[in-house]
Amino acid sequence: MATMPEEHGEKTLKAGSPPKPTDAASTLSPIRLNIIVVGLWLCLFVSALDTTIVTTALIKISSDFGSLNESAWLIVTYLLTYNSFLLITSKLSDVWGIKTVILTCAFIFLVFSMACGGAQTMNQLIVFRAFQGIGGSGMYSLTFVAIMKLITPEKLGFYSGIISSVFVIANLLGPILGGVIADDTTWRWIFFLNGPIIAVAFSALCLAMPGLADGKSHKERFKNFDILGGILSIVWPIPLLFALQEGGSRWEWNSSIIIGTLTGGCVGFIVFIFYETWVTYRTAKDPVLNITFFRKPSMALLLLGMFFLGFAFYIAIIELPQRFQAVNGTSASRAGILLLALTLLSPVGAMTAGFLMQKYIAAEYLIIIANVFIVVGIGLVSSLPATHPFPDATFGYEIILGIGLGLSSPPYYFLLGTSIDREDIAIGTGALNMLRTLGGTIGVAICSALLHNNLHTELPTFLSPAETKALDESIASLVILSPDKRIRVGKIYGQSYNKQFQVMIAFAGANLLTSLALLWVRKREGIFNKMPEMEGDLARTKDVEGGAERVATSEPKLREEEEKNGEKSEAIRPSATDGDKQNSQGNTGSTKEVKI
């Protein structure tokens, strides 16, 4: 690998550098570790749950306030702040510590969940949902950062699988719980429900999670913090996501509002990238987004793969229940039940991935296998008949897609430990999470545009303007139509949803190609099938294949000395000279195989 000199403040990226835990973290007892994992799981659960639980109750909530036309904002505002704060909360954990930041985010989420439950107007509820998204964003992102920094490599795959199962469980329970609560009690309990869950999670993390032990003050840690970069990371996604969510739905794509916000988001993104490039290479500050990520092919491909994965994940969870209601005439609760084949198989796939990565298969191969399942599953779903009866084959298609989605997520976080420097684990995890959500947002926007374009073209041919407008606002408006019109509308919806999933095949296929490229690149970089090591100061990785443990080191003198003396049992780190440091930064390919 070519040497990258450190000139003008340039920061280099060292392959194979794993996350290093604090002293307290390295001595965690099994009971204490499990308590922390429970707290993290609950934080991530309520964060993910609040992206889906509102969906089936939107009509009930907005109707109570007489603001049905503003119902989409309850999801959009949460998603906007949720995605915008993923990077900034990850970086703040480097300044104040994971424990402090995740507890603060949990407190914010708790306070504004209670505020949402007590909201008296639609505008109040929309604003409170935005602040709730800030807390949810931090809990989402920092859960993965904590797992990477607190879990030993031998257990990382297993616990990554457990944590990743949160998403499918939340997506399973969210629509069902939202519908049941709104129908049988009051929608306010959708938000009040977060109270006891957050209280348990807060207590567990407050008592069990270790804090920073590096002896630095908060002022010292904040000195090199990239404040302007943090602000830009929050600002640029907001207009972009607004345009993607509302374009083709509330406003036409060629409207001044959508064009303006879309342009503003793109310009903001360019400014953010240029500024972070300047911070990375020309200042001593720690950038919010380390641009060196994109100079390392394996990390760049991880980010791209997670971006494409977001398309399949969010589209499957959001669009399939809507298809069941619009095409097959089911209720919201029934649609959630019909989705069980996918949502139940996904956590099984996630835990299977965690188990397989430890002993039986390389994570790089697992990503490829997962993407094959996803491509096949989406392709089969796109071929469903556009008629009213619910086809039994749907369950089989959901199983294939669910297994693929479950297998796909854990390997990305697992490979992160050998793709970037250990001090960049927090921001790297935040970048993965942000791109996954961004990919899902773009996917939903594309599907929404396809749906509305098809409806606006076909429905006016046999429906009145009032009926067409009602269907634009809610699928539930199908009940006002005659049986014949309902069947025709269902067929149009069915054709539209098939077209949406056909388009998603292209993104799933792109992810499959990305995973193949990732395999090739990691083999070329010499980090294929490597397990991150947390012990010691050496940047080491362990090869889990064939029962041999290989310690990769960037100390050329150590290599020469061991070869000369014939030592094979143990690597002892010498004092690093200036020349060694330069080689360590620029040449990560020097390895010494040691049989343990």
Question: Residue-wise pLDDT tens for the chain (596 aa)?
Answer: 333 333 333 443 343 334 444 445 556 788 888 899 899 999 999 988 887 787 777 767 876 776 655 666 777 778 778 877 877 787 788 778 888 899 999 999 999 999 999 999 888 998 999 899 999 988 988 887 888 778 777 777 777 777 777 776 787 788 788 878 877 788 899 999 999 999 999 999 998 888 755 555 666 667 777 788 878 877 887 788 778 767 766 777 788 888 999 999 999 999 999 998 999 888 878 777 778 888 889 999 999 999 999 899 888 877 787 788 778 877 767 777 788 888 788 878 888 888 888 678 888 999 999 999 999 999 999 999 888 788 889 999 999 999 999 898 889 888 888 888 777 776 787 778 778 877 887 787 777 777 777 877 888 888 888 887 777 666 667 677 888 888 888 888 899 889 999 999 999 999 999 999 999 999 988 888 876 654 433 334 444 443 333 333 334 434 444 444 444 444 434 444 444 444 444 444 333 333 32
Cβ pair 354, 159 in contact under 8 A: yes
Integer Cα distance of 553 and 592 in angstroms: 7
Q: Does 203 fall in a domain?
A: yes
| Distance in Å from the first CA to the final CA of the chain | 27
> Is 324 in contact with 380 (CB distance < 8 Å)?
no
Using the structure block, give the residue that is written with the tokens 């990239």: 226
Domain assignment present for residue 470? The answer is no
Give the end of a domain, one of 248, 265, 284.
284
The values of phi and psi at residue 259, to 5°, are -60, -40
Examine the domain organization and report whether 242 and 152 are in the same domain. no
In a shared domain, residues 180 and 268:
no
Do residue 134 and residue 188 come from a single domain? Answer: yes
User: How many structural domains comprise the chain?
Assistant: 3
Residue by residue, DSSP assigns 419-438 as TS-GGGHHHHHHHHHHHHHH
In a domain, 472, yes or no: no
Q: Are 78 and 207 in the same domain?
A: yes
Q: What is the pTM of this model?
A: 0.72
Q: Which of 269, 284, 299 is the last residue of a domain?
A: 284
Tell me: do 201 and 230 sit in the same domain.
no
Same domain, 203 and 95: yes
Q: Which of 241, 257, 284 is the last residue of a domain?
A: 284
Q: E strands along 321-379, which residues? A: none
| Cα–Cα distance measured from residue 220 to residue 52, given in angstroms and rounded to the nearest whole number | 40
User: Are residues 187 and 246 both part of a single domain?
Assistant: no
Helices (H), 382-424: 393-416
Structure tokens at 244: 């993607």
Are both 176 and 30 inside the same structural domain? Answer: yes
Query: C-alpha angle with apex 258: 312 to 269, nearest 5 degrees?
Result: 65
In this structure, the answer to whether residues 32 and 103 fall within a common structural domain is: yes
Give the C-alpha distances (Å, rounded to integers) separating 224 from 2, 14, 91, 234, 420: 29, 21, 11, 19, 20
Assigned token pair, 175: 């629509």
Domain, as residue range, for 551: 533-593
Asked if residue 155 and residue 125 are part of one domain, the reply reads yes
The Cα-based distances of 562 to 2, 526, 575 in angstroms read 24, 20, 15
Tell me: do 171 and 248 sit in the same domain.
no
Q: How far apart are CA 288 and CA 300, in angstroms?
A: 16
User: Is there a single domain that holds both residue 201 and residue 236?
Assistant: no
DSSP class of residue 577 equals P
Pairing, β 541-543 against β 592-593: unpaired
DSSP secondary structure string for all residues of 150-211: HS-HHHHHHHHHHHHHHHHHHHHHHHHHHHHHHHHS-TTHHHHTHHHHHHHHHHHHHHHS--
